[in-house]
């Protein structure tokens, strides 16, 4: 299940419904782009493993027989047809969930500057528009304006990390995630390699090849317009998939999350923008915020009912950490795996799958003196311990903002340029 959660997106429903006796004021959605092809580097590596197999193995039999006719055709970096549909569906779901606000206008939308992210924002907009039209609501402003924030060296962009030199390039922080993965990889991959090489005489597969073949399960699955489960998925055992899921989780946790000393700091800029939206005050940040954009009410408006931000999995991991959403997750072991439940609900598959999303709701409720905030990640209400959430996952706005003192203080941005 985990690998398909990572590729398809999974709902971990718990307390998801819009509650009675409440009045929603604003909703922010932070979304990962939809399913894509592998990155350029990865697609080259995957193709190399396939060609190695085809050169070394005379004939594929049994569950490997599909390889006799398999040709590697995956592209690089672009949204797949299934990914487009994911984002369209996300737009429909957003409209239907927040119909009371959605009928009143259109969302303010931002996208980080990679093409797959921009295209994801467009498909989300399409879905939102389709749902609105199906509801027989006027929508003359479609196609909606999308603010694209450039990516690349030197650009301040809260939806894409890249400014913190020590995190991007420094020997102390940049390799924390990959080192944790390599240690854990040694605990399970040798048995997998031995099994594969026994099944495929002459293959001479390495640890890197095994991970490539595991990766090809989700990537060839989402390359299908209907996400038909790929035959690569059947080459591995349930235990191997559990280990693989944890391997990916370690990469996110120690690469961009709380396991990396500078991971949460990469999400501080976005959190400070969120504080501004929720409180209706100017952005106060000295990290990754684009001050030119955020000082302009056209490019960073306050007082909107609906906000949509489309980004990447790594950046969302840092933002979730800066928000303190998984503070109850203890440091993950890199020598033995643990189930997601034992990690207080934290895993890469549960938090940042393709088209994964967080809703940040601000509301008024009967009997409450102050506005409330709650956060829902992939349909699961997050019990925010840092601000004393009630049984429905809600914190007062004051307590929520006070709980974000790490972000308000700039995190550890001073260490970004100390090496």
Catalytic machinery residues: 33
Contact 95, 295 (CB under 8 A): no
136 contact partners, CB below 8 Å, separation of at least 6: none
Report residue 306: phi and psi, to 5°.
-130, 130
Strands 357-365 and 22-32: antiparallel
Strand partners, 36: 79
Cis peptide before 94 (omega within 30 of 0): no
The distance in angstroms from the start CA to the end CA of the chain is 41
Strand partners, 310: 31, 111
Residue 14 to residues 29, 30, 163, 251, 310, Cα–Cα distance (Å): 18, 19, 36, 26, 24
Tokens at residue 186, please? 């040694």
Contact 219, 46 (CB under 8 A): yes
3-state SS, residue 216:
helix
Contact 187, 244 (CB under 8 A): no
| C-beta neighbour count of 119 within 10 angstroms | 20
Within 13 Å of residue 362, how many CA atoms lie on the same side as its CB? 23
Report residue 213: phi and psi, to 5°.
-70, -35
């Amino acid at each position: 299940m985990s690998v398909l959660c990572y590729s398809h997106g999974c709902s971990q429903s718990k307390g998801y419904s819009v509650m009675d006796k409440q009045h929603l004021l604003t909703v922010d959605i932070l979304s990962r782009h939809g399913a894509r092809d592998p990155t350029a580097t990865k697609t080259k590596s995957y193709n190399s493993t396939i060609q190695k197999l085809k050169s070394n193995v005379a004939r594929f039999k049994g569950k490997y027989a599909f390889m006799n006719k398999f040709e590697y055709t995956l592209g690089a970096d672009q949204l797949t047809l299934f990914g487009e549909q994911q984002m369209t569906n996300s737009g429909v779901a957003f409209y239907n969930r927040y119909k009371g606000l959605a009928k009143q206008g259109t969302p303010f939308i931002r996208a980080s500057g990679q093409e797959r992210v921009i295209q994801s924002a467009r498909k989300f907009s399409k879905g939102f528009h389709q749902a609105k039209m199906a509801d027989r609501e006027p929508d003359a402003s479609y196609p909606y304006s999308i603010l694209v924030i450039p990516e690349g060296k030197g650009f301040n962009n809260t939806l894409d990390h890249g400014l913190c030199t020590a995190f991007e390039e420094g020997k102390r922080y940049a390799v924390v995630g990959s080192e944790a993965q390599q240690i854990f990889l040694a605990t399970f991959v040798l048995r997998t390699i031995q099994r594969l090489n026994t099944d495929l005489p002459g293959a001479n597969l390495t640890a890197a090849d095994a991970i490539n073949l595991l990766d090809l399960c989700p990537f060839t699955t989402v390359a299908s317009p209907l996400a038909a489960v790929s035959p690569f998925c059947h080459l591995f055992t349930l235990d191997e998939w559990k280990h693989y899921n944890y391997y990916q989780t370690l990469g996110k946790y120690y690469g961009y999350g709380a396991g990396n000393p500078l991971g949460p700091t990469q999400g501080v800029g976005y959190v400070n923008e969120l504080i501004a939206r929720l409180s209706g005050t100017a952005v106060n940040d000295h990290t990754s915020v684009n001050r030119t954009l955020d000082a302009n009410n056209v490019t960073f408006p306050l007082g909107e009912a609906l906000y949509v931000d489309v980004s990447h999995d790594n950046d969302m991991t840092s933002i979730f950490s800066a928000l303190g959403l998984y503070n109850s997750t203890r440091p993950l072991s890199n020598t033995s795996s643990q189930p997601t439940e034992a990690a207080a609900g934290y895993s890469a598959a549960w938090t940042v799958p393709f088209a994964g999303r967080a809703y940040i709701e601000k509301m008024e409720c009967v009997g409450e003196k102050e506005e409330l905030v709650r956060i829902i990640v992939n349909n699961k209400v997050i019990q925010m311990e840092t601000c004393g959430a009630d049984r429905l996952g809600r914190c007062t706005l004051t307590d929520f903002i006070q709980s974000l003192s790490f972000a308000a203080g700039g995190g550890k941005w001073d260490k970004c340029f100390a090496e």
